C-alpha cells in the first residue's frame, strides 16, 4: 500500500488547515505541528479514515519540536513510506509599525517562528530521512513580501527573504546527494486569512500600505484559503517541483 507522509506546521487555521484537510482527503498521513488542535481537522481525519497526528508546540521555541520530529522520523520504518514531505507554513506578523516601534520580544518571536523554526525543522527532517529511499520534498511557504520591501513589515519581509535564501542554499546541498530532497520556497499569492485582516485593520499612520490591502478585499482579489491550498499542493505535486528553488504560484 502506498503510504505518503506529510509534516505540516501552522495547520490550525487558514491555508494550513485547508492544506491539512486536502492532504487527508488524498490519503496522506499528516503530522501537524501547531499551537492548537482544531476539532474540524480531527473530524475530517475521522471521516476520511486517514491517519492524523497533532503535536502542540509553540514554534517560537523551535528546538523542542525539531528534536521531537527527528527522533520520531528515525523511529519510523523508512521502507514503509513512498514519500515524505515537510511543509513549513507557520508564520506570524508582529505589531505593524516601523522597526523602531517593535518590542524586542515581538520582533524575536516573528523571526523565530518565520525563519528559525523552518530552518530547524528542515535540518531535522533532512537528517532523519537522508537514507530513506522514497521521494523527499521540503516546501517552504514564502510570500511576495520576501521579494518586495514594505514599510512597517521589516520583520515579516526579513523572515520570508531569509526563508527564500536558505532554500536556495539547501537546494544546492541536496542536488549533490544521492536521492537528495527537492526543495522550494513558494509564494502562495494573496488569500483571505486572519493575517490579511490584521493588515487591513492596522493604523494607517503606522502602515502606509494599509489601503492597498483593503482594496484587495473590496475588489474580491483574495483567494479563499481552500483555493490557495489547492494551488499550493498542485505545485508541490508538479513533476518539476524543486527545479526552481524560489517560485511564485502565480507564475
Position 114 scores a pLDDT of 97
The angle at the Cα of 214, spanning 213 to 220, to the nearest 5 degrees, equals 95
Q: What pLDDT, on a 0 to 100 scale, did the predictor assign at position 139?
A: 98
Instruction: Note the pLDDT of residue 2.
Output: 65
Confidence class of residue 241 from pLDDT cuts 50, 70 and 90? very high
pLDDT band at residue 46, thresholds of 50, 70 and 90? Answer: very high
Tens of pLDDT, residue by residue over 177-200, are: 999 999 999 999 887 766 776 777
Whole-number average pLDDT of the chain? 92
| Residue pLDDT, tens place only, 56-84 | 999 999 999 999 999 999 999 999 999 99
For residues 56 and 152, give the distance between their C-alpha atoms in angstroms, rounded to a whole number: 30
CA 144 to chain centre: 14
For 123-163, what is each residue's pLDDT tens digit?
999 999 999 999 999 999 999 989 999 899 999 999 999 99
- Three cell numbers at 127? 537528517
Per-residue confidence (pLDDT) for residue 217, from 0 to 100: 77
The whole-number average pLDDT for the span 34-44 is: 92
Predicted local confidence at residue 208, as pLDDT: 77
| Helices and strands (H, E) in the chain, number of each type | 9, 7
DSSP 99: G
pLDDT for 192 equals 72
pLDDT digits (tens, 9 = 90+) for 158-183: 999 999 999 999 999 999 999 999 99
Would you say residue 1 has pLDDT above 70?
Answer: no
pLDDT at residue 251 in the model: 83
Q: What is the DSSP letter of 181?
A: P
Count of Cβ atoms closer than 10 Å to residue 171 Cβ: 21
Q: What is the pLDDT of residues 101-114, one digit of tens each?
A: 999 999 999 999 99
Q: How confident is the model at residue 45 (pLDDT cuts 50, 70, 90)?
A: very high
Could you report the per-residue pLDDT of 211-220, keeping only the tens digit for each?
Answer: 777 777 777 7
**Tell me, what's the pLDDT at 53?**
97
| Residues present in the chain in total | 251
Q: Residue 74: which H helix or E strand, with range?
A: helix 63-74
Amino acid at each position: 500500500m502506498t503510504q505518503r507522509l506529510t509534516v505540516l506546521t501552522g495547520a490550525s487555521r487558514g491555508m494550513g488547515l485547508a492544506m491539512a484537510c486536502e492532504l487527508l482527503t488524498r490519503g496522506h498521513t499528516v503530522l501537524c505541528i501547531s499551537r492548537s488542535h482544531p476539532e474540524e481537522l480531527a473530524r475530517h481525519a475521522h471521516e476520511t479514515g486517514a491517519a492524523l497526528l497533532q503535536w502542540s508546540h509553540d514554534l517560537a521555541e523551535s528546538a523542542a519540536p525539531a528534536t521531537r520530529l527527528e527522533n520520531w522520523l528515525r523511529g519510523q520504518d523508512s521502507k514503509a513510506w513512498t514519500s515524505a514531505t515537510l511543509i513549513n507554513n507557520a508564520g506570524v506578523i508582529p505589531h505593524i509599525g516601523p522597526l523602531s516601534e517593535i518590542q524586542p520580544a515581538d520582533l524575536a518571536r516573528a523571526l523565530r517562528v518565520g525563519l528559525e523554526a523552518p530552518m530547524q525543522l528542515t535540518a531535522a527532517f533532512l537528517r532523519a530521512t537522508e537514507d530513506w529511499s522514497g521521494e523527499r520534498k521540503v516546501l517552504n511557504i514564502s510570500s511576495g513580501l520576501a521579494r518586495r520591501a514594505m514599510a512597517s513589515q521589516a520583520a515579516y519581509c526579513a523572515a520570508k527573504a531569509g526563508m527564500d535564501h536558505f532554500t536556495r542554499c539547501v537546494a544546492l546541498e541536496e542536488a549533490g546527494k544521492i536521492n537528495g530532497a527537492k526543495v522550494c520556497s513558494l509564494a502562495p499569492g494573496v488569500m483571505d486569512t486572519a493575517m490579511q485582516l490584521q493588515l487591513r485593520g492596522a493604523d494607517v499612520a503606522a502602515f502606509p500600505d494599509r489601503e492597498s490591502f483593503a482594496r484587495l478585499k473590496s475588489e474580491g482579489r483574495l483567494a479563499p484559503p481552500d483555493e490557495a491550498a489547492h494551488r499550493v499542493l498542485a505545485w508541490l505535486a508538479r513533476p518539476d517541483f524543486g527545479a526552481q528553488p524560489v517560485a511564485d504560484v502565480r507564475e
